[in-house]
Amino acid sequence: MDKSKVDYSVYLVTDSTPAILGTKDLVRVVEAAVRGGVSIVQYRDKHSDRQTAVQTARKLLEVTRRFGVPLLVNDRVDVAVEVGCEGVHIGQDDMAYEEARKLLGPDKIIGVTASSVDEALAACKAGADYLGLGTVYATPTKKDTKSIIGPSGIRSILQALSSAGHASIPTVCIGGINARNATAVLLESSAAPQKSLDGIAVVSALVAADDPAAAARDLLAKVVTGRVPDVLRAVAEATPLSHNMTNLVVQNFAANVALAVGASPIMANYAEEAADLAKLGGALVINMGTVTPDGLKNHIQAIQAYNAAGGPVVLDPVGAGATSIRRSAVQTLLSSGKFTIIKGNEREIHTISNTSSAIVQRGVDSSSTLSIPQRAALAKSVSRSTGGGAVVVLTGKTDIVSDGVRTLRIDNGHEYLGRVTGTGCTLGTTLSAMVAAFRGKKSPLVAAVAGLVMFEIAAERAGVRDDVRGPGTFVPAFLDELSALREETVRGDVKWLAGAKVE
Ligand code: 3NM
Ligand code: MG
């Protein structure tokens, strides 16, 4: 496992004591929680003898490997070495970092707990791969915690890390975090724009839950919501290039949306330019809305140029099911390279899924025939079928975002989005800006949700404006609201996020 690619969004710390685990089986709890959205697991067991700890760690490792998430062991470095898991987490009173590193080697993950600026800076200097910051709130789970520092204490540490040149070290916070306070803790502890938390770590919110899978889904939704401002600020800060190879209908609208969300658009359909553009740190949008044989060749060449440069690619298979030419074009594109995001309506995503064509697409319009759980299953299976783990964004009244393991629903938006041409295409452009700017954070799922939430809340705000009387007046108001959301967020005013409906 490449430790630079770890997603710290929802970090599960286990507890095997009856007070928290109850009579449940720990391995099953962890499996359910990982299925629900946990992105990293720490086996923390202060009481079991060594043999039991090794046995349990082995069973947990079997589960976490199946889902591709890292397993760390708390404190007991020897157990981590014996089972060969991805690393350890050490507290201030545990083995020294240097000693742990000697035993584990350079490739394993070592996380360190820090409760103060000094501890955090020392851990960074020593070489820690991430920090666990706390204790946020007093918690019955760990009664011997030293200092309760709250979100403001976390913010001071984040600020100090950033000032000392450690802005890129991943951080999570711990202590009394649950689905009710997770979004607020992320927002309040953020030392924006310099540094925010990458996720939250919990014990009882998952281990004590009756339904750990549902609890993990809930936490994931709240964490992703709390990270939306980070994504938007990253875009504002980077002004990433959004390289659009898009259709004739939406060039101007897409370029204006790119500007409004904080990206720098270039509408360049000639693939010979792609190798140069791919080096600029932006993302490519492939929109097959007006597909031609020449266009298809250009698309393939550009996808390969961005893949070679490690740049994100968003695929928008407009009208994919409408004609046999488009059905074959989309398969050609899919087999020509890797995609970071595949965005489409139900029919387009259904076409990609290659399953029996129960849905026949007319034109390029969108309409929905599947239930929400069916749509979620479709998005998940298409994400899995892409091998490279593309995030699938299935748009509709309720949007679905899935990375093949974690699947979220977004219930924002306005009916005018469906009455103006090109809104779907400009969403693709928006998503490209988000993944380009947030790529260092290794979470295209978070970036995709952020893009959707911004886009759809801007539409809601535009849709209710007095000066908006229909789809015509909606378009300029929508551009204004996108731009206003960006400005508010950069200023630190994120009240608008209270309207986000992420589940
Ligand atoms: N470490 P819960 S607090 C394991 O402050 C642990 O370092 C802490 O449990 C620290 O999510 C804690 O149930 C327990 O509140 C957190
Ligand atoms: Mg410890």
For residues 244 and 255, is the Cβ–Cβ distance under 8 A? Answer: yes
For residue 132, the ligand 1 atom closest to its alpha carbon is: 7
The per-type count for the chain, helices as H runs and strands as E runs, is 19, 16
Alpha-carbon distance 80 to 221, whole Å? 30
Surrounding residues of ion ligand 2, Cβ less than 5 A: 75, 91, 94
The CATH number given to 3-226 is 3.20.20.70
| Distance from residue 17's CA to the centre of ligand 1 (Å) | 14
| Distance from residue 135's CA to the centre of ligand 1 (Å) | 7
Alpha-carbon distance 494 to 176, whole Å? 23
What ligand is nearest to the CA atom of residue 208? 1
Ordered per-residue pLDDT tens for the chain, 503 residues: 889 889 999 999 999 999 999 999 999 999 999 999 999 999 999 999 999 999 999 999 999 999 999 999 999 999 999 999 999 999 999 999 999 999 999 999 999 999 999 999 999 999 999 999 999 999 999 998 889 999 999 999 999 999 999 999 999 999 999 999 999 999 999 998 889 999 999 999 999 999 999 999 999 999 999 999 999 999 999 999 999 999 888 999 999 999 999 999 999 999 999 999 999 999 999 999 888 889 999 999 999 999 999 999 999 999 888 899 999 999 999 999 999 999 999 999 999 887 644 444 444 445 668 999 999 999 999 999 987 689 999 999 999 999 998 999 999 999 999 999 999 999 999 999 999 998 876 789 999 999 999 999 999 999 999 999 999 999 999 999 999 999 999 999 999 999 999 99
| Domain 239-499, architecture per CATH | 3-Layer(aba) Sandwich (3.40)
Q: Which of 42, 94, 142 to mutate to test the pocket of ligand 1 (most atoms within 8 A of CB)?
A: 142
Range(s) within the chain of domains with CATH label 3.20.20.70: 3-226
What ligand is nearest to the CA atom of residue 46? 2
| Distance from residue 410's CA to the centre of ligand 2 (Å) | 38
Instruction: Note the pTM of the prediction, 2 decimals.
Output: 0.94
For residues 218 and 406, is the Cβ–Cβ distance under 8 A? Answer: no
Q: Which residues line ligand 1 (CB under 6 A)?
A: 13, 113, 134-135, 139, 141-142, 145, 174-177, 202-205
For residues 13 and 44, is the Cβ–Cβ distance under 8 A? Answer: yes
Active-site residue numbers?
Answer: 425
For residue 15, the ligand 1 atom closest to its alpha carbon is: 4
Alpha-carbon distance 390 to 341, whole Å? 5
Range(s) within the chain of domains with CATH label 3.40.1190.20: 239-499
